[in-house]
């Protein structure tokens, strides 16, 4: 089976190493793909999604943009929560493109804190395998998202990626380079997508959703009946 990733590391070892990082001890892996425009950040998330699909049966890919690997398109925090609850028994890979805008702490500090963080902390129980955000720099990313991040990646160009161990919430850059150096010669993802297509996102999840001790089925029913926050 062809795995569409390569580097100076032995070709069979690299996918295994990346896959191990994404497994994150059976907890949700939080990926932040950073870098300048046109350096292949979204392509990297698609590569990782493909890698997990090879290794994980019945993996659903949820994203806010169209791609050939996307199973469910979500364009808001409410949509995401409903889709996660509706498919709670299946493993899921979540990708949010243009997160440099949607998760910018300068404009969306409160929505990220009261909507994303409570939901993200329940990702493991909702069977979310990986959650990935595509950003530009640490200035764009909310401190809460940095704190959750388990696999920060910085793209220096389309074929090169630097993978780090952590991203301090008060830092503009991730720290502790992994793999003894950058991964090189990354290939273009086999997944098809339009890099110029819109990747919309709305913060409309009810902020008090998890305040009450409701079961998963009760949470889903509440979201269906009450709808998104307007």
Tens digits of per-residue pLDDT, 80-135? Answer: 999 999 999 999 999 999 999 999 988 999 999 999 999 999 999 999 999 999 99
Rg, C-alpha atoms of the chain: 17
- Measured from the Cβ of residue 59, the count of other Cβ atoms closer than 10 Å reads 18
**205 or 47, which is more confident?**
205
Return the pLDDT at 7: 43
Beta strands in 64-220 (DSSP E): 72-73, 92-96, 128-134, 151-157, 160-166, 175-177
Average pLDDT over the chain reads 88
Q: Is the pLDDT of residue 139 over 90?
A: no
Return the pLDDT at 4: 42
Q: Is the pLDDT of residue 208 over 90?
A: no
Mean pLDDT over 212-227 rounds to: 94
């Amino acid at each position: 089976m062809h795995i569409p990733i390569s580097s100076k590391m032995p070709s069979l070892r690299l996918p295994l190493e990346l896959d191990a990082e994404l497994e994150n001890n059976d907890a949700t892996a939080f990926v932040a793909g950073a870098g300048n425009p046109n350096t292949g950040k979204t392509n990297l998330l698609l590569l990782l999604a493909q890698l997990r699909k090879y290794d994980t049966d019945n993996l659903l890919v949820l994203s806010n943009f169209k791609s050939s690997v996307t199973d469910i398109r979500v364009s808001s925090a409410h949509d995401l929560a409903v889709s996660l609850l509706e498919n709670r028994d299946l493993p899921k890979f979540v990708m949010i493109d243009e997160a440099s805008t949607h998760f910018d702490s300068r404009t969306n500090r409160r929505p990220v804190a009261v909507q994303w963080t409570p939901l993200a902390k329940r990702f493991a129980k909702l069977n979310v395998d990986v959650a990935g955000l595509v950003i530009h720099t640490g200035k764009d990313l909310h401190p809460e998202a940095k704190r959750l991040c388990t696999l920060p990646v910085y793209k220096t160009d389309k074929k090169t990626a630097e993978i780090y161990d952590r991203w301090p919430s008060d830092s503009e850059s991730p720290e502790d380079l992994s793999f003894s150096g950058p991964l090189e010669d990354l290939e273009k993802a086999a997944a098809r997508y339009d890099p110029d297509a819109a990747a919309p996102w709305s913060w409309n999840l009810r902020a008090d959703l998890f305040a009450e001790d409701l079961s998963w089925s009760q949470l889903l029913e509440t979201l269906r009946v009450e709808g998104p926050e307007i």
